[in-house]
A and B are shown apart, each in its own frame.
Chain A
Amino acid sequence: MLEFLQHLFGEHNILVYIIMTLPPLVFMIVFALAAVLLERKVSAHMQDRLGPMRVGYHGLIQTVADILKLLQKEIITPATADKKLYILAPFVVFIGSFGAYACIPFSSQYIGSAISLGLFFIIAISSLAPVGLMMAGWGSDNKYSLYGAIRSVAQIVSYEIPTVLVILTIVVLIGSINLQDIVKAQSGWFWNWYIFGGPGGWGKVITIPFIGIAFLIYIIASLAETNRTPFDIPEAESELVAGYHTEYSGMMFAFFFLSEYANMFAVSAIAAALFFGGWQSPFGDAIPFLNNPWMQVFWFVFKGLVFIFLQMWLRWTLPRLRVDQLMYVCWKVLTPFAFIDLLIVGLYAVLR
């Protein structure tokens, strides 16, 4: 897509870059609208309810109505708040989650920025979010917000370590941290996906259990990274009311919400790209129609949505952990296992 646009507008035309950023932004907004509705419908049907039913067929445009409501609401700034931090915080959080979309490959023909340090960039830019959360918590001048922010920052920073170790496990097998390369390496039938050991001969069978463990660790850690139940203690409703966004209203609140759902898809997309072949069709090139660039977008979003559903399923089933138990899970369970996993898979990668 980049070559096509450069051909159309000239190599260094600013329009090229603006158009390149549009698809993820549009996708993110549409996805957030759909995911909020999906969340409400999924939770409703798990809880013997129907969920939104009034606005549109089965409540299909409920979230559009919600956004319209939020747009009209007054943005309230507490009198004692630190105004600059308070107003800036939602945008910093949003930049953190939107920035990650730059290196997510939606299709073989589209990736926002094909830099060779893709995964590294995603991890780095995601770390901007805790800064925004801390700004929100401190700027609100609210004790609940402050507690939520401190918990959230501690949690996200801690859980980055097992996440990165697990990502490295796949990276040592491929030898590249460009997500587009990682996905391309898994071409062919679905048994070439890394959850099934990746491409290669029968020797890959040894790695399957270790990659399975890595996948489990990634799923658990990604739940914590996105503040989802059972790790949603930063916004634990029964303790901290709403955590760091207690004081926010209107579109400022919507921005936190938007970036939360954007983050959910970002971690799901990385899981899909690393373990489930990204935009690859499960049938490879055997059915060429299913592997054209447009269908690749479908496969990628579909795989992401499966993980989104998994996150929602867990959220509406499990209770919440306590803050010290959360840290216990991270430092004493996930990190050692992820580290041992990395060593074993790394050894295999060297010896094969």
Chain B
Amino acid sequence: MPEIKTEELIVNMGPQHPSTHGVLRLEVKLNGEVVDDVIPHLGYLHRCFEKHAEQMTYPQVIPYVDRIDYVAAMNNEFGYVLACEKLMGIQVPERVEYIRVIMAELQRIASHLVAIGTYGNDIGAFTPFLYYFRDREKILELFEITCGARLLYNYMWIGGLSHDIPHNFIEKTKQFTKYMRPMIKEVNDLLCYNKIFVERTANIGILPADVAINAGASGPTLRGSGVNFDLRKDDPYSIYDRFNFKVCVGDGEMGTVGDCWDRNMVRCNEMVEALNIIDQAVEQIPDGDIASAIPKRIKPPVGEIYFRTETPKGELGYYIISDGSQNPFRVKVRPPTFCNLSLVPAISRGYMLADLVAILGSVDIVLGEVDR
């Protein structure tokens, strides 16, 4: 009997596909159901952020920064304003530092809620996604009463903030953290410890620590592989050295260290740690003026700086060159998800098509950040 001729099937996933988290195009070479190779094609959401930034004054860049990772806008602003302040040598008031940390950690929870929710959606469970969005809504309400915006805030300014927090913000934040803790457990029981979910994610897409480090991965993707690296601890910025929190790493509870389940669980645990930081910050927050350090003219001296912060997705770095004028000479962004996405082909070969979706969801990409 002659041998049956077979060939690989090339499937284009995206740019319009339900589980590519935006406009990513994956060229997948399939051998039956098994993935032989994946080639990501980027650039469908490229908006020339870096070139735009050169035409703007320093404060005008902030709204653009919001749009890099649009589900974690506060964290993007945080890194940018800290970089500019360090370049200009501005010391901001204590109250501003605390408010920024509270906002950044609230945003971290909101971002992780989206990440885990959409991950559940990728695996086929739609209901936890909406439970997570219900809780995210409470965070967006807090942002809304503070600065009026719900997604793109332009809240952190160089040297200060656009508005002080309203009088009921501290009380509402305390209520939120009290509400949120049991909710995290509830949805963990529904999704993360679900037998089918564990079967689908444990031992899938195993990312060894050395591969992750070599590729420049960061954030939950790196920590899921068991590497204890968190810029809030290892290169503390702002006032993170004052808070007591633990860095969550993957421990291979359900399978091997560095599998999809670990990466997802790191996010769940990080939400609890973020709640701890918020609890400590709202207790310690001092009174003061939030606008006292905002400079009248923003003209940094000639120089350059690389400043990195820990966003929900990983290490977000800004490399800013100043030529002494009102506009930055160059703003380079080092996006965490771009590096994390580059790992997807390496860890998805040999798994099934359904696993590719699980792996892609577990590295939590936001195409706004990948393409900028």
Q: Do A and B come from one complex?
A: yes
Of the candidates A144, A147, A239, A321, the one whose C-beta lies within 8 Å of that of B357 is A239
Binds A, one of B98-106, B116-124, B152-160, B252-260: B116-124
A236 touches B124 (CB 8 A): yes
Determine whether A241 belongs to the interface, using a CB cutoff of 8 Å to chain B: yes
Residue of A233, A316, A322 ringed by the most chain B CB atoms within 10 A: A322
A232 touches B134 (CB 8 A): no
A316-B19 in contact given A322-B200, A324-B352 (Cβ < 8 Å): no
The residues in B between 83 and 132 inclusive whose CB is less than 8 angstroms from any CB of A are 120-127, 130-131
B131 touches A229 (CB 8 A): no
Residue of B127, B134, B352, B354 ringed by the most chain A CB atoms within 10 A: B354
In the complex, chain B residues whose CB is within 8 Å of the CB of A325: 199-200
**In the complex, how many angstroms separate the beta carbon of B114 from the nearest chain A beta carbon?**
15
Majority-rule SS of A interface residues:
loop
B124 touches A238 (CB 8 A): yes
Determine whether A74 belongs to the interface, using a CB cutoff of 8 Å to chain B: no
In the complex, chain A residues whose CB is within 8 Å of the CB of B352: 322-324
Determine whether A69 belongs to the interface, using a CB cutoff of 8 Å to chain B: no
Determine whether B197 belongs to the interface, using a CB cutoff of 8 Å to chain A: yes
The residue on B at minimum CB distance from A49 is: B130
**In the complex, how many angstroms separate the beta carbon of A28 from the nearest chain B beta carbon?**
27
A47 touches B19 (CB 8 A): no
A237-B18 in contact given A49-B130, A319-B123, A323-B354 (Cβ < 8 Å): yes
Of the candidates B17, B194, B353, B355, the one whose C-beta lies within 8 Å of that of A241 is B17
Determine whether A46 belongs to the interface, using a CB cutoff of 8 Å to chain B: yes
B127 touches A317 (CB 8 A): yes
The residues in A between 226 and 255 inclusive whose CB is less than 8 angstroms from any CB of B are 229-230, 232-233, 236-239, 241
The residues in B between 234 and 255 inclusive whose CB is less than 8 angstroms from any CB of A are none
The residue on B at minimum CB distance from A237 is: B18
Determine whether B145 belongs to the interface, using a CB cutoff of 8 Å to chain A: no
**In the complex, how many angstroms separate the beta carbon of B10 from the nearest chain A beta carbon?**
8
Majority-rule SS of B interface residues:
helix
A147 CA / B34 CA spacing, docked (Å): 12
In the complex, chain A residues whose CB is within 8 Å of the CB of B191: 319
Determine whether B11 belongs to the interface, using a CB cutoff of 8 Å to chain A: yes
Determine whether B33 belongs to the interface, using a CB cutoff of 8 Å to chain A: yes
A48-B354 in contact given A241-B18, A321-B196, A321-B200 (Cβ < 8 Å): no
In the complex, chain B residues whose CB is within 8 Å of the CB of A317: 125, 127, 190
A318 touches B19 (CB 8 A): no
In the complex, chain A residues whose CB is within 8 Å of the CB of B194: 318-319
B130 touches A48 (CB 8 A): yes
A318 touches B354 (CB 8 A): no
In the complex, chain A residues whose CB is within 8 Å of the CB of B357: 238-239
A316 CA / B33 CA spacing, docked (Å): 26
Residue of A46, A49, A318, A324 ringed by the most chain B CB atoms within 10 A: A318
In the complex, chain B residues whose CB is within 8 Å of the CB of A323: 33, 352, 354
B120 touches A322 (CB 8 A): no
A238 touches B18 (CB 8 A): yes
The residue on B at minimum CB distance from A229 is: B124
**In the complex, how many angstroms separate the beta carbon of A206 from the nearest chain B beta carbon?**
31
Determine whether B302 belongs to the interface, using a CB cutoff of 8 Å to chain A: no
The residues in A between 289 and 340 inclusive whose CB is less than 8 angstroms from any CB of B are 316-325
B9 touches A239 (CB 8 A): no
Of the candidates B33, B124, B355, the one whose C-beta lies within 8 Å of that of A319 is B124
Determine whether A83 belongs to the interface, using a CB cutoff of 8 Å to chain B: no
In the complex, chain B residues whose CB is within 8 Å of the CB of A318: 124-125, 194, 196
In the complex, chain B residues whose CB is within 8 Å of the CB of A320: 123-125, 196, 200, 354
A4 CA / B158 CA spacing, docked (Å): 88
In the complex, chain A residues whose CB is within 8 Å of the CB of B11: 143-144, 147
Of the candidates A229, A239, A316, A321, the one whose C-beta lies within 8 Å of that of B353 is A239
The residue on B at minimum CB distance from A44 is: B130
Over the window 284-297 of chain B, the binary record of Cβ atoms lying under 8 Å from chain A Cβ atoms (1 yes, 0 no) is 00000000000000
**In the complex, how many angstroms separate the beta carbon of B101 from the nearest chain A beta carbon?**
30
**In the complex, how many angstroms separate the beta carbon of A72 from the nearest chain B beta carbon?**
24
A236 touches B354 (CB 8 A): yes
Of the candidates B18, B127, B355, the one whose C-beta lies within 8 Å of that of A322 is B355
The residue on A at minimum CB distance from B121 is: A238
A352 CA / B357 CA spacing, docked (Å): 54
B124 touches A232 (CB 8 A): yes
The residues in B between 10 and 32 inclusive whose CB is less than 8 angstroms from any CB of A are 11, 17-19
A320 CA / B124 CA spacing, docked (Å): 5
A319 touches B17 (CB 8 A): no
A51 CA / B117 CA spacing, docked (Å): 20
The residues in A between 57 and 80 inclusive whose CB is less than 8 angstroms from any CB of B are none
**In the complex, how many angstroms separate the beta carbon of A49 from the nearest chain B beta carbon?**
7
A290 CA / B316 CA spacing, docked (Å): 70
B134 touches A48 (CB 8 A): yes
The residue on B at minimum CB distance from A328 is: B199
B124 touches A230 (CB 8 A): yes
B9 touches A143 (CB 8 A): yes
B354 touches A233 (CB 8 A): yes
Of the candidates B122, B127, B199, B354, the one whose C-beta lies within 8 Å of that of A316 is B127
Over the window 177-219 of chain B, the binary record of Cβ atoms lying under 8 Å from chain A Cβ atoms (1 yes, 0 no) is 0000000000000110010110110000000000000000000
In the complex, chain A residues whose CB is within 8 Å of the CB of B199: 321-322, 325
A143 CA / B19 CA spacing, docked (Å): 17
A287 CA / B240 CA spacing, docked (Å): 74
A101 CA / B355 CA spacing, docked (Å): 38
The residues in B between 327 and 372 inclusive whose CB is less than 8 angstroms from any CB of A are 352-355, 357
**In the complex, how many angstroms separate the beta carbon of B186 from the nearest chain A beta carbon?**
12
In the complex, chain A residues whose CB is within 8 Å of the CB of B19: 237-239
A49 CA / B18 CA spacing, docked (Å): 22
A317 CA / B129 CA spacing, docked (Å): 11
A46-B124 in contact given A321-B199, A322-B200, A323-B33 (Cβ < 8 Å): no
**In the complex, how many angstroms separate the beta carbon of B12 from the nearest chain A beta carbon?**
8
The residues in B between 308 and 322 inclusive whose CB is less than 8 angstroms from any CB of A are none
Provide 5 A-B residue pairs closer than 8 Å at the C-beta atoms, listed in order of the A residue.
Answer: A47-B130, A237-B18, A317-B190, A319-B120, A322-B355
| Closest A-B pairs by Cβ, 5 of them | A320-B124, A238-B19, A319-B125, A47-B130, A319-B123
Known: A147-B353, A241-B17. 15 other contacts (CB 8 A): A47-B131, A48-B131, A48-B134, A49-B130, A230-B124, A236-B124, A237-B18, A238-B121, A238-B123, A239-B353, A319-B194, A319-B197, A320-B354, A321-B196, A325-B200
Could you list which residues of chain B lie within 8 angstroms of chain A, going by C-beta atoms?
A: 9, 11, 17-19, 33, 120-127, 130-131, 134, 190-191, 194, 196-197, 199-200, 352-355, 357
